[in-house]
A and B are shown apart, each in its own frame.
Chain A
Amino acid sequence: MKEFENKVALITGGGSGIGRATALAFAREGAQVVIGNRNVQRGEETVSMIRASGGTASFRRTDVLVAADIEALVNHAIGTYGGLDLAFNNAGIEGDARPLVEQTEANYDAVMDINVKGVWLSMKYEIPRMLKRGGGAIVNSSSVAGLVGLPGFGIYVASKHAVIGLTKTAALEYSAQGVRINAVNPAVIDTEMVERFTEAIGSSKEDLVPLHPIGRIGRVEEVANAVLWLCSGRASFVTGHSLLVDGGFTAR
Chain B
Amino acid sequence: MKEFDGKVALVTGGGSGIGRATAIAFAREGARVVIGDRNAQCGEETVQTIRDTGATASFRRTDVSAASDVEALVDHAMKTFDRLDLAFNNAGIEGDVRPLEEQSEANYGALMDINVKGVWLSMKYEIPRMLEHGGGAIVNASSVAGLIGFPGIGIYVASKHAVIGLTKTAALEYSAKGIRINAVNPGLIDTAMADRLAAGVKTTKGDLAPLHPTGRIGRVEEVAETVLWLCSGRASFVTGHSMFVDGGFTAC
Contacts and interface: CB of A to CB of B under 8 A. Distances in A.
Closest CB pairs A-B (n = 5): A240-B251, A251-B240, A215-B176, A240-B248, A168-B251
A169 B245 CA distance: 17
Interface in A205-252: 213-215, 218-219, 222-223, 225-226, 229, 234-241, 243-248, 250-252
Contact of A213 (B186, B214, B239): B239
Given A225-B235, A251-B239, A213 B176 contact: yes
A247 B180 CA distance: 9
A214 B239 contact: yes
Interface string B235-251: 11111110111111011
B150 interface: no
Contacts of B239: 213-214, 247-248, 251
Contact of B225 (A168, A218, A235, A243): A235
Given A229-B234, A248-B175, A252-B168, A239 B243 contact: no
Contacts of B240: 213, 244, 246, 248, 250-251
A150 interface: no
B187 A251 contact: no
Contacts of A248: 168, 171-172, 175, 239-240
A247 B251 contact: no
A168 B251 CA distance: 5
B6 interface: no
Contacts of A168: 248, 251
Given A219-B237, A236-B222, 19 more contacts: A168-B248, A168-B251, A172-B213, A172-B251, A175-B214, A213-B176, A214-B175, A214-B180, A214-B237, A214-B239, A226-B238, A229-B234, A237-B218, A241-B244, A244-B241, A246-B237, A248-B168, A248-B175, A248-B240
A167 B250 CA distance: 12
A234 B175 contact: no
A171 interface: yes
Interface of A: 167-169, 171-172, 175-176, 180, 186-187, 213-215, 218-219, 222-223, 225-226, 229, 234-241, 243-248, 250-252
Contacts of A223: 237
A239 B248 contact: yes
Given A175-B215, A213-B176, A247 B237 contact: yes
B226 interface: yes
A27 B234 CA distance: 17
Interface in B151-173: 167-169, 171-172
Given A213-B239, A235-B226, A239-B214, A247 B175 contact: yes
Interface in B175-199: 175-176, 180, 186-187
A82 to B, nearest CB: 27
Specify which of B168, B241, B252 lies most central, judged by the most chain A CB atoms within 10 Å of its CB. Answer: B241
B219 interface: yes
Contact of A234 (B187, B229, B236): B229
Given A172-B251, A235-B226, A251 B172 contact: yes
A37 B214 CA distance: 32
Contacts of A234: 225-226, 229
A248 B226 CA distance: 18
A171 B251 contact: yes
A171 B223 CA distance: 19
Contacts of B238: 222, 226, 243-246
Nearest to B176: A215
Nearest to A170: B251
A240 B247 CA distance: 8
Contacts of B222: 236-238
A219 B215 CA distance: 36
Contacts of B213: 171-172, 175-176, 239-240
Contact of A243 (B180, B218, B234, B243): B243
A213 B245 CA distance: 24
Contact of A239 (B168, B237, B247): B247
